[in-house]
Structure 1
Amino acid sequence: MRTEKIGHSKASDSRFTFHVSRFRDKLSTLKTCFLFCTLLCCTVLYGCGTPSTIEVSPPAPPKPSEAVRRLQAKIEATLNDPLLASSNVGMKVASLGTGEVLYEKDAEKLYHPASTMKLITAATALIKLSPNYRFRTTLYADRLEGGRVMGNIYLKGGGDPVFNSNDLGKMVDRLVEMDTKDLRGDIVVDETYFDAVRRGKGWMWDDGPIGGYYPHLSALTINRNGVLVRISPGSEVDDPVHVHLDPPTQYMKIVNDANTVGVSERTRLTIKREDRSIEANVLIIDGAMTIGQAEMNRRADVLDPALYCGTLLREMLAEQGVTLYGTVRYGEVPEEAVEIIQHISPPLSRILWEMNKPSDNLIAELLLKTIGAELRGAPGTAEKGLGAIGNLLGIIGMDRRYYTFADGSGVSRYNLVTASLLTDLLVYMYRNFAVMPEYLASLPVGGVDGTLTRRMRGMSAEGILRAKTGTLRGLTALAGYTVTADGETVAFSIIVSNYLGPVSPRRVLQDKIGDILTQFSRQDYYEELDNGERKN
């Protein structure tokens, strides 16, 4: 019997081949997917056992509003003044309400802060010492017999930068009340609360003794470590000029080579220190004054401030009839000494007012060393104080690559900061309610007081803007706060450096920017839009 193949043809063979081919393709795809999934699972499992970092790009800053753009344009127009063509300008403005940076220019470049350094010193003192911190200056004696002082007396300084002759006079009164008729021992001045470094690191060698800008440093300070020299003309031509010291003291010697001339003659009066004298505190007054010329007053710094203080104590006791047999010398208070009287200073909050308003360098430097002594132990040094400043800036989040400090006042050109650092510090202090009122109150007010007394008068910023000034040759800085037309508080810093010529025209531009910030309103733009829509 013949058998035939049923249902088999060339067409059916080709369809079968086609299906087999599709099956093989699917199988290959499945194998690929399986390998991919296996690799993915291994990667995930490996990642679970190993820490990994995913870098996420920071979001782009929001575009400024039209009102802010107009503010920026006004500031740019001011900074484009030809006066600043060859200068460097660092600036940053931040809103304390929104945190928005309203304007910045070269805000991360380094500049000398000048006296805006006092903003940093003041902030550290308030936070590390507290607004109610007080300085102590203490008078001791070796012993008391029947209530009377015997042996040496000791005057120990505690860094009080505002201790003065009136305060010392109260100590003298106490000694007189104790029936002190004579003192057979010495007057020993103790300044060991600080080191014996008299000047800040990087201070210029030719900084003169006149003006009170560069006083010598000591833990025992009196009358800002200086004397006031009062000079007036004689009553006749060729008479020597009259010279008086306030307070009167033999500690500062005067060589008077100046005379009186007629009204028609040109005059010039100079005061300089006699550096070659064995007695370092010698001032030479040279030149001339015209008949009827008004009295001239100049502050002169003293060398060895603690000895100056001890000498004033000796002279005051002598005026009260106390006989003194010993000398004034350096030394330390012995442990067994008896306390006679202690003077306690005003609170730190008040002293900061006296530092920042007139920009007092001595207060800033003594504060720096006091911070060091209180936090890291006596003797207080600038290095210890600067360490505390670095600690505070680290807490705030400041990058150490963008600052370096050498003193507390800003006199040194070794100091370097950025405009961003100053503004960020101002923002931090404003938001620190525990110290903000005292910090803000210490700043000069535009057109009202301190170093801003004669600035911004007649401007919107007058009586509103509060800021610390800073000046070195070829540099002017202004950093602080103002309130805008909308009631929005802003912090700002403006540093202009590397210019020739007088500082006044550059200050005018800084004041103009301060006024622009004070006039700034976010509402002006919308009001103009509304008015435009009404016209249409």
Structure 2
Amino acid sequence: DGNLYIKGFGNSTFKTEDIDTLISILVENGIKQINGDIIADDSYFDNLYTRDDWIIDENANVKLPPVSALVINKNQFVISLYSTGKVGSKLKYAIKPECSFINVNIDANVTEYRSRPRITSTFNNNEINVKVTGGLRKRRTPVGYVVNIDNPPLYFSLLLKEKLLNNGIKVLGNSEIGKTPSPSNDLASVGIDLDSLIALINKNSNNYLAECLFKSVGAFYSGEEGNSFYATQAVLTTFSDEYIIDDETAVVDGSGISRFNTITTGSIVRLLQKIYNDRIYYEDFYRSLAISGIDGTLKDRDINNFIKGNFHGKTGTLNGVTALAGYLTGRDNHLYIISSIMQFKSRGSSYHKNIEDKILLELTK
């Protein structure tokens, strides 16, 4: 009896397969019918989903999907376009994950020459309307395009209801957005431990996961909701109390892609030193970093054989900026903390990343 609530706590790795896991648990518990509504609870974070909503005059050159407490597939769906037909014929499409509430209007054709489709979407009255215009050159394989979801909790509720119905669980109510009452009976949960999440963020510089974690920090710090203000206060207060950051340090996001972030290499070195001295967290943090010549964002760096595997670090790249920080094991088997930030107007990031690699090489001599 009653409603079925699904509450998100910032698990940015939640996927369609995790919904299937939750539903299988409901089936195993003998639940065959929901007499009320399917209610998505996104209240652990604020409802400012895009960076432009909380960073004034952001104008970032890196666009991210909506950041929310209740996440599914990074709050995106994929439309695959097929141009295998005759030139001039309509493109065909497929949506992943499949769902009945996404309507697609194809006004795009197979073309003989190189062309690019334009995809727009609107979310109204519990339906997502996608329009595809332009064209796509004839080819044998489909091309996938990601579409951001404007209303993550409503999309989640609609998708969950449809999957419940497909698995034989009747739903008498509607898909809604709301808050989970207290007390309530917990039926199932899916999560990720912090160590695993940090590794996903650091190894490949995953900006979206970092932004979701940033708001989670704000929620934990404030005891209220996760937002950029509380997250910023948590970071600055903690690092100031530990004498890690300078007075000029500014933090406005979790990924570091905002131009309004300011920090010095000295602050980064002090932070890495603080982590190194923390025997509880250091090993997990060290393993989360990309390894030179082995994996992550450092896998393809042009380095010599000695540095390969001996530098664990984090990269950072923006237009006109490249950064590198981490731990280098020298030939003397001592561990060195490295931090470098370069700004440039010419020669590009590859040239300056090569300088970073040469610095590592010099430090190992």
TM-score, normalization by structure 1: 0.62
> Is contact 1:480-1:492 (8 Å) kept?
yes
Partners of 1:446 and 1:257 in 2: CA distance = 47
389-398 or 349-358, larger mean C-alpha shift: 389-398
Give a deviation string over 1:464-520, Cα, whole Å, max 9, x none: 222211122221211112212222221112212242464322222222323333xx2
Name the CA shift for 1:240/1:362 in 2 (closer, same or farther; >3 Å). same
1:259 to 102, 105, 109: 109
The answer as to 2:184 corresponding to 1:334 is no
Partners of 2:179 and 2:280 in 1: CA distance = 37
The answer as to 2:248 corresponding to 1:398 is no
Q: CA RMSD in A?
A: 2.7
The answer as to 2:28 corresponding to 1:177 is yes
Name the CA shift for 1:300/1:450 in 2 (closer, same or farther; >3 Å). farther
Structure with more contact order per residue of length (Cα contacts < 8 Å, sep ≥ 6): 1
Give 1:491's aligned amino acid.
Answer: I
> Is contact 2:323-2:340 (8 Å) kept?
yes
Query: Is the helix fraction higher in 1 or 2?
Result: 1
Task: Give SS of 1:372's match.
Answer: helix
The structural deviation recorded for 1:369 is 2.0
TM-score, normalization by structure 2: 0.89
Report the counterpart of residue 514 of structure 1 in structure 2: 360
Report the counterpart of residue 227 of structure 1 in structure 2: 77
Give a deviation string over 1:332-353, Cα, whole Å, max 9, x none: 112243322222x232101111
Task: Give SS of 1:463's match.
Answer: coil
Report the counterpart of residue 235 of structure 2 in structure 1: 389
Report the counterpart of residue 205 of structure 2 in structure 1: 359
Partners of 1:156 and 1:245 in 2: CA distance = 25
Give a deviation string over 1:68-109, Cα, whole Å, max 9, x none: xxxxxxxxxxxxxxxxxxxxxxxxxxxxxxxxxxxxxxxxxx
Task: Give SS of 2:328's match.
Answer: strand
Give 2:96's aligned amino acid.
Answer: D
> Is contact 1:187-1:328 (8 Å) kept?
yes
Task: Give SS of 1:342's match.
Answer: coil
Partners of 2:82 and 2:292 in 1: CA distance = 34
The answer as to 2:162 corresponding to 1:315 is yes
Give a deviation string over 1:264-284, Cα, whole Å, max 9, x none: x2x132444346988895544
2:4 to 143, 153, 174: 153
> Is contact 1:228-1:246 (8 Å) kept?
yes
Higher Cα Rg, which structure: 1
The structural deviation recorded for 1:253 is 4.4
The structural deviation recorded for 1:190 is 1.0
Structure 1: state its 5+ residue gaps.
1-149, 522-536
Give a deviation string over 1:400-429, Cα, whole Å, max 9, x none: 423011111112221111111112211221
Report the counterpart of residue 202 of structure 1 in structure 2: 55
Partners of 1:314 and 1:338 in 2: CA distance = 19
Structure 2: state its 5+ residue gaps.
none
Partners of 2:202 and 2:102 in 1: CA distance = 29
Give 2:316's aligned amino acid.
Answer: G
Name the CA shift for 1:246/1:203 in 2 (closer, same or farther; >3 Å). farther
The answer as to 2:96 corresponding to 1:246 is yes
Report the counterpart of residue 30 of structure 1 in structure 2: none
> What percentage of aligned pairs have identical amino acids?
27
Give a deviation string over 1:222-247, Cα, whole Å, max 9, x none: 21221233333223322333322222
The answer as to 2:197 corresponding to 1:346 is no
Partners of 2:340 and 2:111 in 1: CA distance = 46
> Is contact 1:153-1:188 (8 Å) kept?
yes
Give a deviation string over 1:12-66, Cα, whole Å, max 9, x none: xxxxxxxxxxxxxxxxxxxxxxxxxxxxxxxxxxxxxxxxxxxxxxxxxxxxxxx
Name the CA shift for 1:478/1:206 in 2 (closer, same or farther; >3 Å). same
Give 1:408's aligned amino acid.
Answer: G
> Is contact 1:268-1:288 (8 Å) kept?
yes
> Is contact 2:203-2:289 (8 Å) kept?
yes
Task: Give SS of 2:70's match.
Answer: coil
> Is contact 2:60-2:259 (8 Å) kept?
no
The answer as to 2:40 corresponding to 1:189 is yes
Partners of 2:360 and 2:156 in 1: CA distance = 43
1:306 to 149, 153, 169: 153
> Is contact 1:183-1:326 (8 Å) kept?
yes
Give a deviation string over 1:310-354, Cα, whole Å, max 9, x none: 1221121121133333221111112243322222x2321011111
Report the counterpart of residue 302 of structure 2 in structure 1: 456
